[in-house]
Amino acid sequence: ILNVEQSPQSLHVQEGDSTNFTCSFPSSNFYALHWYRWETAKSPEALFVMTLNGDEKKKGRISATLNTKEGYSYLYIKGSQPEDSATYLCAHPGYGNKLVFGAGTILRVKS
């Protein structure tokens, strides 16, 4: 994998459903993997910066896991709420503070 790839492209779920999405990234020379949430009309906001293989991070109902050997990360949302509706981006750092972003997963939660 040369680029950062995210799937699915979009997801529509009902309030209360749990959901997850995938980010695939180059596994060689791994440094870190970032997850951001971008709500409409707002700025992208960092959720997690993950650096260790097997790392699992949690913020409220959102959690993420990391597998650096195979080059993927999962983001889980438990009990989705309408306020979770956003675009979820993952990014792989390049040199310096450059971030290479995936295209994102658009999540819509219906109440």
Partner 1 sequence: KAGVTQTPRYLIKTRGQQVTLSCSPISGHRSVSWYQQTPGQGLQFLFEYFSETQRNKGNFPGRFSGRQFSNSRSEMNVSTLELGDSALYLCASSWGRDRPTEAFFGQGTRLTVV
Considering the complex, state which of residue 77 and residue 92 has its C-beta at the smaller distance from partner 1. 92
Separation of alpha carbons 104 and 111, rounded Å: 22
What is the DSSP secondary structure assignment for residue 83, as one 8-state letter?
G
Separation of alpha carbons 56 and 63, rounded Å: 7
Considering the complex, state which of residue 13 and residue 100 has its C-beta at the smaller distance from partner 1. 100
Q: How many residues does the chain have?
A: 111
Cβ of residue 18: shortest distance to partner 1, in angstroms? 26
Residues that bind partner 1 (CB under 8 A): 31-32, 34, 36, 42-46, 49, 89, 91, 93-104
Considering the complex, state which of residue 29 and residue 111 has its C-beta at the smaller distance from partner 1. 29
